[in-house]
Amino acid sequence: MLWVCRIFATFVLPVCYSGNGNLIRMMDRTVKEPVRLREKKLANGNVSLYLDIYVNGRRSYEFLKLYLVPERSRVDKEHNRQTLQLANAIKAKRIVEAQSNTHGFANVKDATKVRFFDFFRTCCEEERKEGSRGSYDHWMSCLRHLEVYERDDSVTFAKITPDWVRKFREYLDKKAVTWSRYGVERRGSKRLSETTKLGYFNKLKTALGIAVKKHIIPTNPADEVDGFRRRDSARMYLTQDEVRRLAATPCGNGTVRRAFLFSCLTGLRRSDVERLRWEDVHDQDGLVRLIFAQKKTGGQEYLDIAPQAATLMGERSVGPVFPGLVSPARTNLILRRWVARAGIRKHISFHCARHTFATLMLDIGTDIYTVSKLLGHRELTTTQVYAKILDKAKQEAVAGIPDLLK
């Protein structure tokens, strides 16, 4: 169960909010903090969140421009849950900054004074500002599992030993389950996939590595623990014939249709398709070139696209190229219905368009290095997975088997 802590007055309140909004007692002791999260009731019924900061005998306030709303529906509860997560992440960052100014981190003995969860929440906050929404959500999910594994929210880095990390790995492997979007265990919850376990463990390892760089701890305790092995996951894709059938089938949502087929022909991730603006589209030597920064990696990309892909963008305008693209969940629901109407029996999500592009390029004879550059991969090994999916030598070998059943 996810605990979202709320902080008032001069102490951490010994209560938490569970996923359904109920107050639950968490600990009997109270802990003084230099930064406290407080609330102010507004005339419209909303609640404004702000920080009460008391460091070196001086008090200041920081209004976060974050607001809780009266909980009249599940949407309201989800809004408040995400708002509190963000407020606590900002608060944690201010605590670490206060500790840094008060104690300094040059002496690693100060690890006994730096609270682990405060620091991890600052890592989540940095990811929210610098990374993608998906990456931020993954960091927050890792935080939820850490909170379930380690119930002491005030635990310091002094306790984060290789044995502590090893037991967290065991928790991920043997006990951790998936949650609903509201952060609570749901009926029929499944164990985490191998890929998810690997991702959460690596998030912890990354955070501890950042702590080493900031001189909070001398070494990374996760380096002494064997992580999870990366396994090749199945990459679902459409064949050339299936793309043609899909294009000839009514979709029900024109923007989803154009965006998905555009991704099939360019390999762009949904995040980049969604962010693509007309100022990123340029005419160069008779070709249409996209000049944009990848949301996932931040790398600058220069991508020439095929004329049929350019046609899917429509008439040049201003603003987004694909305005009004519905949420990822809604998009995938529309795609599943569209694929079914086309008579294609595959579980297709928007990201499968990227896999489709990669296999299409290899199928028409494009070398793997060029495919890697078209996909914007930093490492060639990432692209080699597609070469395994579409191994032309194996196909030719199988096709060459003589007819032995006559």
Question: Is the per-residue pLDDT at 15 higher than 60?
Answer: no
Same domain? For 264 and 168 the reply is no
Report the CATH number at residue 318. 1.10.443.10
From 158, 190, 224, give the residue that closes a domain: 224
Report the CATH number at residue 214. 1.10.150.130
In a domain, 234, yes or no: no
Q: Which domain holds residue 266?
A: 244-399
In a domain, 289, yes or no: yes
Same domain? For 288 and 185 the reply is no
Same domain? For 162 and 59 the reply is yes
In a domain, 230, yes or no: no
**Residues 277-334 pLDDT 10s:** 999 999 988 889 999 888 776 778 889 999 999 999 999 999 999 999 998 889 999 9
Select, from the ranges 24-33, 241-250, 324-333, the one with the highest average predicted confidence (pLDDT). 241-250
Same domain? For 374 and 264 the reply is yes
**Residues 70-119 pLDDT 10s:** 998 888 888 888 888 888 888 877 877 776 554 444 444 456 678 899 89
252 Cβ partners below 8 Å, 6+ apart? Answer: 334, 337, 338
Contact 295, 275 (CB under 8 A): yes
Please state, in angstroms and rounded to a whole number, the distance separating the CA atoms of residues 145 and 165.
13
If you ran DSSP here, which 8-state letter would residue 192 be given?
P
pLDDT level of residue 231 (50, 70, 90 thresholds): low
Same domain? For 184 and 296 the reply is no
Same domain? For 213 and 362 the reply is no
From 224, 253, 271, give the residue that closes a domain: 224
Question: Is the per-residue pLDDT at 178 higher than 90?
Answer: no
1 Cβ partners below 8 Å, 6+ apart? Answer: 18, 19, 148, 184, 185
Report the domain count for the chain.
Answer: 2
Same domain? For 213 and 81 the reply is yes
pLDDT level of residue 2 (50, 70, 90 thresholds): very low
- Please report the pLDDT score of residue 89 as a whole number: 81
* Strand ranges across the sheet with 11-17: 4-8, 11-17, 23-25
pLDDT level of residue 270 (50, 70, 90 thresholds): very high
In a domain, 263, yes or no: yes
Same domain? For 34 and 130 the reply is yes
- Please report the pLDDT score of residue 27 as a whole number: 34
- Please report the pLDDT score of residue 305 as a whole number: 92
Same domain? For 209 and 303 the reply is no
- Please report the pLDDT score of residue 314 as a whole number: 93
- Please report the pLDDT score of residue 23 as a whole number: 35
Report the pLDDT averaged over residues 138-147.
92
Same domain? For 36 and 154 the reply is yes
- Please report the pLDDT score of residue 371 as a whole number: 86
Question: Is the per-residue pLDDT at 17 higher than 50?
Answer: no
- Please report the pLDDT score of residue 16 as a whole number: 40
Question: Is the per-residue pLDDT at 184 higher than 70?
Answer: no
In a domain, 47, yes or no: yes
The backbone torsions φ and ψ at residue 393, rounded to the nearest 5 degrees and listed phi first, read -65, -40
pTM of structure = 0.54
In a domain, 349, yes or no: yes
Same domain? For 375 and 258 the reply is yes
In a domain, 233, yes or no: no
In a domain, 92, yes or no: yes
Same domain? For 220 and 260 the reply is no
Question: Is the per-residue pLDDT at 196 higher than 50?
Answer: yes
Select, from the ranges 93-102, 164-173, 225-234, 354-363, the one with the highest average predicted confidence (pLDDT). 164-173
